[in-house]
Structure 1
């Protein structure tokens, strides 16, 4: 399997997941207060929304790479 086909399949999978879930969230630690040797850390939940056009675009580009990659080889 060529690297182009692997990238194409990864783009298609990422596009489908982006359309299915619409985004993802993660938690990050931030320092709220730092006074001398004492630190107060806070966990913040961040959400990233994946636009529909990005998911569709990833699927289309992945499909094109898959077709073009198979015609070359």
Structure 2
């Protein structure tokens, strides 16, 4: 496979995944206090929404790159 085709397929897959999931989120554990052997901590969840327009752009750009990579010689 050519480089453009691989990048195009990756972009299409990323667009489909973000379209299905709507973005991504992650958890971060923060330590509030440490008093000897006692530790106080909490977990925060951060989310990063990705709109359907961005997902559509990823899919269209990926398809374009995949077609351009397949046609180049």
TM-score grouping bracket, smaller chain normalisation:
0.7 to 0.9
d(CA) in 1 for partners of 2:34 and 2:53? 42
TM-score with structure 2 length normalisation? 0.81
**Structure 1 regions of 5+ residues with no counterpart?**
none
Could you say what the CA RMSD is over the residues aligned between the two structures, in angstroms?
Answer: 1.9
TM-score with structure 1 length normalisation? 0.81
**Structure 2 regions of 5+ residues with no counterpart?**
none
Structure-2 residue corresponding to 1:70: 70
d(CA) in 2 for partners of 1:39 and 1:51? 39
